[in-house]
Amino acid sequence: MRHTLPIAPQFYVTAPQPCPYLAGQSERKLFTALTGDGARALNDTLSKQGFRRSQNVLYRPACSECAACLSARIRVADFQPTRSQRKTQNRNAHLHREATSAWATDEQFTLFRRYLDSRHADGGMADMDIFEFAAMIEETPVRSRVIEYTERPDGGARPGRGSGRSLVAVCLTDVLDDGLSLVYSFYDPDRIKDGLGTYMILDHVALARQAGLPYVYLGYWVPGSAKMAYKARFGALEVYRDGAWQDLGDPDSYTRHLHPLAVRPITEQVAAITLPPPESGGKPVR
């Protein structure tokens, strides 16, 4: 189906598919193409309304009988790491961070395949080959960076590429006008105890603070999904709910909102979307 606002872009909705997070549920996505000169402004604007980027597409869950998926972001100014998170920071403090252009490498793909085979062998990306991986990394019409975390074989940090370095974690990150958005991350599956996934989020909070950006966008938090439970462990967390960003509060107080009347029809969802102003100037368009 296609749903059109008075001006571009056009919005579409996918056919129902099995939900990857909640057993017995189906998912639909509302999406639009991310192309042209206005791609960056559209990404900035829709990210503030719960959308996420995948290559040249922006999407948001639009399930017919469930509203469990909630876009989540950390308020950088208010964030304070827990004792456990401080230990994770100290454990990985020797790693070297390098922000590069959105360009895929064989070394990244090797680590990516090891990560998938160990952690998500039955997931939707399990069969991704090197060409699809390159597309995931490189097909971006917005300001994106690949942030690599490396170490020397002896456990010390070493800047730059070349022999003697070991790639242990990677994050594809979008730079928005109000924050950093973690599009996709992966890490060495043999180092689960190091908490590399948590460390990358903590490091992005530090990066955003240094850059004067107020938020770090984490993607979707799904109550009842063990895969997404880790996001609720971060302080100063907000979720996009009922058209506004709200403090997470008690994670255990959330339900799946399974009643059909709890979910607005697609046409109403599209009509409520705010778009960036036209290039000629003016206020945001609804």
pLDDT at 282: 46
What mean pLDDT value characterizes the chain? 89
pLDDT at 1: 54
pLDDT at 281: 46
Averaged pLDDT, 250-260: 74
pLDDT at 156: 55
pLDDT at 207: 98
Higher pLDDT, 119 or 176: 176
Given a contact cutoff of 8 angstroms between Cβ atoms, the answer to whether 150 and 95 are in contact is yes
Higher pLDDT, 135 or 152: 135
Residue 284: C-alpha distances to residues 7, 88, 184, 265 (Å) = 12, 41, 29, 23
**Amino acid (1-letter code) at residue 165:** R
> Tell me: the pLDDT tens digits for 256-279?
656 656 678 889 999 999 999 876
Q: Name the least confident of 86-95, 122-131, 145-154.
A: 122-131
How distant is the alpha carbon of residue 151 from its chain centre?
25
pLDDT at 280: 41
Structure-token pair, residue 102 = 């959105």
Q: Quote the percentage of the chain above a pLDDT of 70.
A: 86
> Tell me: the pLDDT tens digits for 67-114?
889 999 999 999 999 999 999 999 999 999 999 999 999 999 999 999
> Tell me: the pLDDT tens digits for 25-79?
889 999 999 998 899 999 999 999 999 999 999 999 998 888 889 999 999 999 9
Using left for φ > 0, alpha for ψ between -120 and 50, and beta otherwise, residue 224 falls in left
Averaged pLDDT, 4-32: 85
* Whole-angstrom distance, CA of residue 100 vs CA of residue 1: 38
pLDDT at 22: 87
pLDDT beyond 70 at 285: no
- Domains of the chain as residue ranges with CATH: 2-68+255-271 (no CATH), 75-220 (3.40.630.30)
pLDDT beyond 60 at 4: no
> Tell me: the pLDDT tens digits for 205-241?
999 999 999 999 999 999 988 889 999 999 999 999 9
Structure-token pair, residue 282 = 């003016």
* Whole-angstrom distance, CA of residue 106 vs CA of residue 265: 44
Averaged pLDDT, 242-251: 94
Query: Cα-atom radius of gyration of the chain, to the nearest Å?
Result: 19
Strand arrangement of the beta sheet that strand 29-33 belongs to: 2-4, 10-13, 29-33, 57-61, 52-54
What is the value of pTM for the model shown? 0.89
Given a contact cutoff of 8 angstroms between Cβ atoms, the answer to whether 53 and 142 are in contact is yes
* Whole-angstrom distance, CA of residue 230 vs CA of residue 237: 12
Structure-token pair, residue 126 = 């399990």
